[in-house]
């Protein structure tokens, strides 16, 4: 799905790279994210995993999908608090 979206501009790529860098998710061989993210969290994800936070403050799936695709398979199964 993310391949049908327009290519990332440098500014967009830097935004995504900052988010992934904070979460220690940057690949060692590529210090800059060059493709739009595609995130598909499972419906059993915790609220902190969904929106961010937790004991160690980290971005959640919503932030990790910034400028990309957040695919919610089985949408009604997600926690209503998180969806609101």
Residue 1 CB contacts under 8 Å (≥ 6 apart), including other chains: 38, 69, 71
Q: What is the mean pLDDT of residues 32-46?
A: 92
Categorise residue 42: left if φ over 0, alpha if ψ from -120 to 50, beta otherwise. beta
CA dist., res. 35 & res. 2, Å (int): 8
Can you tell me the distance from the alpha carbon of 7 to that of 48, in angstroms, rounded to the nearest whole number? 30
Confidence at residue 1, expressed as pLDDT on a 0 to 100 scale: 64
Residue 24 tokens, joined: 């220690």
Mean pLDDT of the chain: 89
- Give the separation between CA 65 and CA 6, rounded to whole angstroms: 15
Q: What does the alpha-carbon distance between residue 26 and residue 28 come to, in Å, rounded to a whole number? A: 6
Q: What is the pLDDT of residue 54?
A: 81
């Amino acid at each position: 799905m993310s391949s049908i979206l327009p290519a990332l501009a440098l500014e967009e790529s830097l935004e995504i790279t900052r988010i992934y860098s904070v979460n220690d998710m940057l690949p060692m061989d590529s210090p800059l994210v060059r493709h739009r993210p595609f995130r598909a969290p499972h419906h059993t994800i915790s609220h902190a995993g969904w929106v961010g936070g937790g004991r160690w403050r980290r971005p959640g799936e919503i932030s990790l999908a910034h400028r990309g695709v957040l695919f919610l398979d089985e949408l009604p199964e997600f926690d209503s608090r998180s969806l609101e």
